[in-house]
Structure 1
């Protein structure tokens, strides 16, 4: 598998693009982590409410237990404290729900901050890189053993920009049609240069 071009300039471009994509991904991961941590700070009030509710519920439960020990009227005295303990439990639940909502918001924001920009870049970079790897690997396969330059020449004739074809020596197309090895090689070189690959030794 051919991952990078053999031509130094094109290989440098590919490496720069790969490093740029990696840096882009790392940047947005760091941004997402920072935003996640910043949003989680909003959970502090919910945590304080939960602690308050737990404290009130615990104190009122203890008070209700003490009131029940009073002879004759203990059960009646414990009723208000039990009610306050239940209210404290509700406050605890509200505080926990607020923390859960903030945690969910922080996670969603972090995921969106990574998926959207990274997905946008990958949707452009990945097809470009995979297409080049597939084409370059196929071209290298054609060059192994007995190089089949006719396929590469035909590919150049079909896809190369007209200015590049016009820069070839006059009669190259007719020479390719007649099977002239020099014309075939000239056209194959156009395709190989596009891919950043070295032509086979003459």
Structure 2
């Protein structure tokens, strides 16, 4: 299970996944362009044109590539150092921003997937529903209060009492509240 059942949450998850893919693809394309510019500027003195970019951007990128060429010129002559510099620049240009994305976005996304799978499995058993109900009771007090407000003639204290006594209606209501919180049920 990769996406929530709630339409709003599922949309946010899909947009986040799409943005992550665009981020990775954009930096991959940038790294390839940078690699080509560095290698082209090392072998040509004329300004190469880059498709889909205007002449002003071509000039700017060419200046950046020329700076890389000056760095490569400090090394012994030959194609080897220029190729190594071009590859190193392209790898760094890709790895740094994509690594940052993966360090921030991927753990949160995988945590939700694990939680959703565990909650779905727990919801299928009686003991599991009781654990989901307990988890709903362990939420911050304002969330427990909202759960109690959604049920007729219920207070947060009566939810806790119903959980201790094993009241099926209370257990079901609390378990359902936890599934809604995870996005596995619609509110």
Q: TM-score, normalised by structure 2?
A: 0.72
Shift of 1:148: 3.0
Equivalences for 1:34-113 in 2 at 5 Å? 34-44=33-43, 97-113=77-93
Q: Judge conservation of contact 2:179–2:185 (CA < 8 Å) in 1.
A: yes
Quickly say closer, same or farther: Cα 1:5–1:154, change in 2 above 3 A: same
C-alpha distance in 1 between matches for 2:145 and 2:122: 25
* Structure 1 residue aligned with 2:122: 142
Q: Judge conservation of contact 1:43–1:98 (CA < 8 Å) in 2.
A: no
C-alpha distance in 2 between matches for 1:119 and 1:194: 30
Q: Which blocks of at least 5 consecutive residues in structure 2 are unaligned?
A: 46-74, 149-153
Q: Could you tell which deviates more after superposition, 138-147 or 164-173?
A: 138-147
C-alpha distance in 2 between matches for 1:177 and 1:34: 63
Structure 1 vs Structure 2 CA RMSD: 2.2
Q: Judge conservation of contact 1:42–1:102 (CA < 8 Å) in 2.
A: no
Normalized per residue, the structure richer in helix is: 1
Q: TM-score, normalised by structure 1?
A: 0.67
Equivalences for 1:106-121 in 2 at 5 Å? 106-121=86-101
How far does the alpha carbon of each residue in 1:151-198 deviate from its partner, in whole angstroms, 9 at most, with x for none? Answer: 10112222x232111121302122212212222122212211121112
* Structure 1 residue aligned with 2:103: 123
* Structure 2 residue aligned with 1:163: 142
Alignment length, in residue pairs?
A: 149
* Structure 2 residue aligned with 1:198: 185
Q: Which blocks of at least 5 consecutive residues in structure 1 are unaligned?
A: 47-94
Q: Judge conservation of contact 1:43–1:103 (CA < 8 Å) in 2.
A: no
List structure 1 runs of 4+ shifted beyond 4 angstroms. none
C-alpha distance in 1 between matches for 2:126 and 2:162: 21
